[in-house]
């Protein structure tokens, strides 16, 4: 019987090293990042990235033949729980979004020539990438409705359409875009993935869309890749840039997103731990009416609810990682959907409670909570809105049930009749003894 919640001792040592490294080297850097130029940031983080590589932890989400470590989802989840403490940790460990997901997609779908051109330089940190799926005039929760077209013309695709919220497209070396190549095919065979390199004529970056996370240009803007709005206007791209076969866009996108959702969910747990620690420290430090704030029942409720929700989300995510490692990604879609919506909700709740306990200080930018809060709100929408994941879970689970006619299967009077007939002898004895 295998039912063990312990971590392999050898990997526990790696987690201890990651924890110290993130707290002592990366968290202090994030405090002054906005005061650095892009070049200064690269200069100061390159030695840190080399330490990660020397430790064998670089790009750990990929298999060894792809330059990663082949850790499996459980170890990756435990690692990302620590990386979620501070925004720049994933970048220093070579698994920042959207590059990590794009590298997984290229690893699965790209040809050897395409890997040489885009995947290996991406993994070495020589290139950066963007992922472009969402469109302003179609529902993001239903990508079968995308309308950006790529029409084959000789040995080139001509792309026309309108995208937005393309992460880091304004600064990326290439954009991995999902476009319609087979308009007459079924809804899940219409789209394909294609690479559009930076400065390709006809790919026009209109703007970076202001968001809650970065609502206006200001301090730190030099490090913000942004979420770009793009107009494709007769944009010609070599047909050789198509990843996989025409019509495989949905298949590749799902492979890209599923594993990333485990990583995201565990990073959220790391963020939750940090917000929770701040809340508890405030509860035992702040005085109200001559007594610690933590003596108030409503604060105790915040702490108890947060601790329980964090543990539940953590175990749910680790179970999803185990399920992936054991049964594969296709058999783990319900588990992935569960952690996506539940983890995002817990993250939002814990940060909100911590802000409330801190009062005006929590609302201010003197603590990291306000940034965490703005960032957390996005995760209930990106990679599929909460409602989409809940609907998927419910529909998949209901497939395991059959309708019944007449009374429900647990109808007590109906079941009692069968039980009385089965155990009639004993019932007669009981009656006689009375």
Residue ranges of domains in the chain:
9-110, 129-243, 251-398
Local structure of 221: helix, strand or coil: helix
Assess contact for 150 and 179: CB atoms under 8 A. Answer: yes
Give the pLDDT score at 430.
54
Non-local CB neighbours of 196 within 8 Å, separated by 6+ positions: 159, 174, 175, 177, 203, 235, 237, 241
- Kindly compute the dihedral angle of the four CA atoms of residues 413, 415, 419, 420, in this order, to the nearest 10 degrees: 30
Assess contact for 71 and 60: CB atoms under 8 A. Answer: yes
Give the pLDDT score at 431.
56
Give the pLDDT score at 146.
94
Give the pLDDT score at 299.
97
The enclosing H or E element of 194 equals strand 191-197
Give the pLDDT score at 366.
97
Angle 369-378/333-358 helices, nearest 10 degrees? 150
Give the pLDDT score at 62.
79
User: Residue 410 and residue 342: Cα distance in Å, rounded?
Assistant: 30
In angstroms, how far apart are the furthest CA atoms of the chain? 95
pLDDT in tens, the chain (434 residues): 566 788 989 999 999 999 999 999 999 999 999 899 989 999 999 999 999 999 999 988 877 777 677 788 899 999 999 999 999 999 999 988 888 889 889 988 999 999 999 999 998 889 999 999 999 998 877 888 999 999 999 999 999 999 999 999 999 999 999 999 999 999 999 999 999 999 999 999 999 998 888 776 666 667 777 899 999 999 999 999 999 999 999 888 877 666 788 989 999 999 999 999 999 999 999 999 999 999 999 999 999 999 999 999 999 999 999 999 999 988 999 999 999 999 999 999 999 999 999 999 999 999 999 999 999 999 999 888 999 999 999 999 999 999 999 999 999 998 998 899 899 888 875 555 55
Q: Which residue intervals of 55-156 are DSSP H helices?
A: 73-83, 89-92, 99-109, 112-114, 120-123
Give the pLDDT score at 237.
98
Distances (CA, A) of 147 to 178, 180, 192, 241: 10, 7, 12, 19
Give the pLDDT score at 37.
92
User: Residue 223 and residue 34: Cα distance in Å, rounded?
Assistant: 7
Give the pLDDT score at 70.
79
User: Residue 182 and residue 238: Cα distance in Å, rounded?
Assistant: 17
State the architecture of 9-110 in CATH terms.
Orthogonal Bundle (1.10)
Fold for the domain defined by 251-398: Butyryl-CoA Dehydrogenase, subunit A; domain 3 (1.20.140)
Burial readout 231-245 (b: 16 or more C-beta within 10 A, e: otherwise): bbeebebeeebbbbe
Local structure of 127: helix, strand or coil: coil
Give the pLDDT score at 189.
94
Closest by CA to 225, choosing from 213, 240, 237, 241, is 213
CATH code, residues 129-243: 2.40.110.10
Which one-letter DSSP state was computed for residue 295?
G
Give the pLDDT score at 213.
80
Same fold, 129-243 and 251-398: no
Q: How far apart are the first and last CA of the chain?
A: 47
């Amino acid at each position: 019987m295998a039912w063990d919640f312990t971590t392999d001792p050898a990997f526990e040592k790696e987690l201890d090293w990651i924890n110290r490294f993130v707290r002592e080297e990366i968290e202090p850097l994030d405090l002054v990042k906005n005061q650095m130029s892009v070049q200064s940031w690269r200069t100061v983080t390159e030695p840190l990235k080399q330490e990660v590589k020397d430790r064998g932890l670089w790009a750990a989400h990929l298999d060894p033949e792809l330059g990663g470590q082949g850790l499996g989802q459980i170890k990756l989840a435990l690692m990302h729980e620590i990386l979620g403490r501070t925004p720049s940790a994933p970048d220093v460990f070579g698994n920042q979004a959207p590059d990590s997901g794009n590298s997984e997609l290229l690893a699965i779908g790209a040809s050897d020539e395409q890997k040489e051109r885009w995947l290996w330089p991406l993994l070495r940190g020589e290139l950066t990438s963007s992922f472009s799926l969402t469109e302003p005039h179609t529902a993001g929760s239903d990508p079968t409705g995308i309308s950006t077209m790529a029409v084959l013309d000789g040995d080139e695709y001509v792309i026309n359409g309108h995208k937005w919220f393309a992460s880091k497209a304004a600064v990326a070396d290439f954009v991995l875009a999902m476009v319609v190549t087979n308009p007459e095919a079924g809804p899940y065979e219409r789209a394909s993935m294609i690479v559009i390199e930076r400065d390709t004529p006809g790919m026009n970056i209109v703007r970076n869309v202001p968001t809650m996370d970065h609502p206006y240009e200001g301090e730190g803007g030099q490090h913000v890749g942004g979420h770009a709005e793009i107009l494709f206007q007769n944009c010609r791209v070599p047909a050789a840039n198509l990843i996989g076969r025409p019509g495989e866009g949905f298949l590749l996108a799902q492979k890209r997103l599923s594993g990333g959702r485990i990583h995201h969910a565990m990073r959220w747990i790391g963020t939750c731990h940090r917000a929770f620690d701040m809340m508890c420290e405030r509860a035992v430090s702040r005085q109200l009416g001559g007594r610690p704030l933590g003596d108030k029942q409503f604060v105790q409720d915040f702490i108890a609810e947060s601790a329980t929700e964090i543990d539940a989300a953590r175990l749910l995510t680790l179970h999803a990682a185990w399920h992936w490692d054991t049964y594969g990604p296709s058999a783990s879609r319900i588990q992935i959907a569960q952690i996506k919506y539940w983890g995002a909700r817990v993250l939002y709740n814990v940060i909100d409670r911590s802000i409330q306990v801190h009062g005006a200080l929590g609302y201010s930018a003197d603590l990291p909570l306000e940034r965490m809060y703005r960032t957390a709100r996005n995760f209930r929408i990106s990679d599929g809105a909460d409602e989409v994941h809940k609907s998927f879970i419910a529909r998949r689970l209901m497939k395991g049930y059959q309708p019944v006619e007449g009374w429900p299967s647990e109808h007590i009077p109906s079941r009692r009749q069968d039980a009385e007939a089965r155990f009639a002898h004993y019932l007669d004895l009981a009656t006689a003894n009375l």
